Amino acid sequence: MYSIIALGNPGNQYVKTRHNAGFLVVDNAFSDLDWHDNKYAFAHIATAEIGNTTFQIAKPTTFMNESGKTADYLISKEGIDPENMIVIYDDLDLPLGKFKISFDRGNGGHNGIKSIEEHLGSREFIRIRIGISKVIESGELVKPNVLGNFDPSELELLQETANTVYKAIGVIISEGKEKAMTVFNQ
């Protein structure tokens, strides 16, 4: 069984910030979910389906640096295998509109990923890193403030990314993470 954790910060002031790219992608890719609060999971939880596979999606209600509490709950109480946990989060090293799928990778200084690694005692989980940086005319990648808001055109691009991430999740679930990395990591 798979489970997805989308990373972000709670509160209206963070809704459209770059650090909330995980929340934004999940909200766009799975727009018709019925979310409920699970205080034991420290998260809003919904059930989603792709093909014939049903899985949980969690959006932690803690701040980013405590996201591991949700991962810990999903593993200890819901029986999710860490290798079947998909974490979707923002990445400053990728341009907006791009994403990368990885497994058993370092945390890259991301506090949400650090927290999950600490709670699991492992790096062996699937990551979908969502690009949030800007590319200027020279081709240089400019890393913005993660708490800065996306502008409307960037939110449109993030919507397109969410559509492709949805397809990638389908491949992960039906054909495995290696196949998804081959198809989507370009």
Residues carrying an active site annotation: 19
What is the distance between the alpha carbons of residues 74 and 168, in angstroms, rounded to a whole number?
Answer: 22
In Å, the largest CA–CA distance within the chain is 49
Q: Strand pairing partners for 59?
A: 44
The structure tokens 């370009």 sit at 186
Closest-CA residue to 62 (of 100, 3, 132, 116)? 116
